[in-house]
Amino acid sequence: MKVFVIQGPTRLEGEVRISGAKNSTLKLMAAALMVPGEVVLERVPQITDVELMADVLRRLGATVQRENGRLVIDSSGELCEEAPYELVTKMRASIQVLGPLLARLGHARVAMPGGDAIGSRPIDIHLRGLERMGAKFTTEHGYVEGLCDRLQGVNTLLEFPSVGATENILMAAVLAEGRSVIENAAREPEIQDLCAFLNNAGARIGGVGTPTITVDGVDQLHSAEHSIDPDRIEAGTYAIAAVATQGDVTLVDCEPSHLELPLMKLEDAGAEVTRGEGRVRVRMDRRPTTLDLVTLPFPGFPTDLQPPMMVLLSQARGSSILTENVFESRFLFVDELNRMGAHIRVEGHHAVIRGVEQLSGAPVRSPDIRAGAALVVGGLCADGRTEVYDAGHIERGYEQFVDKLTGLGAEISLESA
């Protein structure tokens, strides 16, 4: 098992270059299955989830080659329709191949992803949307199997602006017959990135970045190249870490407009934030002020930045309330943080955080990507040695985490336990 070992406290200082967005890359890779030709993705982060998605695509019949930060995907050969359990279980985002396979082959058999450490994660909204377009699903032996003739464009109202459901339905709609309208669609920047790529490959998607997406189906997509947007969650993690450690960090190659609410909240906490073209400087010279925070779909505060924000508020002067509205079990790591001296009480989907002056280093366990990164931020703030076990989770989503943090002055290493 891998473990991050951190010696704190540290004040983070310097510049950090932001990688391409994990959550865009995974969906763009799935979308490449709809292109009977070569897709070239630039600025692809070197993280485990990308390797896992590459394995899923290879299993489905595509070729995937990595050349430094580029990924070349060729789905022009014969594809197969089955994404097996041993791959889907390692990464939930594999479910995003469902829409592309149905659109391209009229047949998809994908293992049901099941829940994970942040909660039960059903796919009912995905399936309902695809059914309305003409797909018929059966679920047996842990697999969901869909069959269809050419999908038909329809109007769909999502009961919740699910990111994954919006993406699956919109990818299917791209090759459907006629016009589809997706209402109450998710507006996350990663969806905008996906739409930009698809339009570049010949799709006709309008209303991008709004809650109403319209898709005029086309018969076929063509080869395309696309450079992936910066990872707003990675950027937000470093920005929050800078404030939590009372440091001075400049995020380089990021997109400040994707981070507006997190940056506003950091300002509310007392940080000085300077926004520039593709860069943001975040400075803090005292303990944070308390604040209340609610996670919501974009442009609300992202649920993926809730865990590091919890670490920041655990050192505020006074009490804060953090409300989690997107994933039911996202407070599971609170017990780990309390082991580091935090005072956090969870009541349903609210966490009451009583700030302490100093966290103290301790061995803790990373339950998932974002909570794991947050525990590392906790370790940077804490006095003494922190060991974050199950570090493999963090490597799923953060490129060169140790190098980037070391570059900012952290004492951190990745070891085997």
Residues found near ligand UD1 in the complex (CB under 6 A): 23, 26, 93, 121-126, 160, 162-165, 303-304, 326-327
For residue 41, the minimal CB distance to ligand UD1 (Å) is 16
Chain Cα centroid distance, residue 31: 17
Residue 329 or 360 having the CB closest to ligand UD1: 329
| Shortest distance, position 3 Cβ to ligand UD1, whole Å | 24
Phi, psi at residue 67, to the nearest 5°? -130, 100
Q: How far is CA 103 from the centre of its chain?
A: 24
Nearer to ligand UD1, 165 or 224 (CB): 165
Residue 217 CB neighbours (<10 A) = 21
As measured in angstroms, the least distance from the Cβ of 372 to ligand UD1 is: 13
Q: How far is the CB of 301 from ligand UD1 (least distance, A)?
A: 11
Neighbours of 3 (CB within 10 A): 20
Which of 165, 266 has the CB closer to ligand UD1?
A: 165
Query: What gap in Å lies between CA 227 and CA 234, rounded to an integer?
Result: 17
C-beta of 241: minimal distance to ligand UD1 in Å? 18
- Bridge partner list, 157: 183
User: Residue with the closest Cβ to ligand UD1?
Assistant: 164
For residues 286 and 314, give the distance between their C-alpha atoms in angstroms, rounded to a whole number.
Answer: 14
Residue (248 or 395) nearer to ligand UD1, CB: 395
Q: How many CA atoms lie within 13 A of 62 on its CB side?
A: 31
Q: Provide DSSP, 40-105.
A: EEES----HHHHHHHHHHHHTT-EEEEETTEEEEE--S----EE-HHHHTT-GGGGGGHHHHHHHH
For ligand UD1, the closer CB: 229 or 304 = 304
Tokens of 235: 């950027």
Residues 49, 55, 74, 116: which is the catalytic one? 116
Catalytic residue check, 285: no
Q: Which residues are catalytic?
A: 116
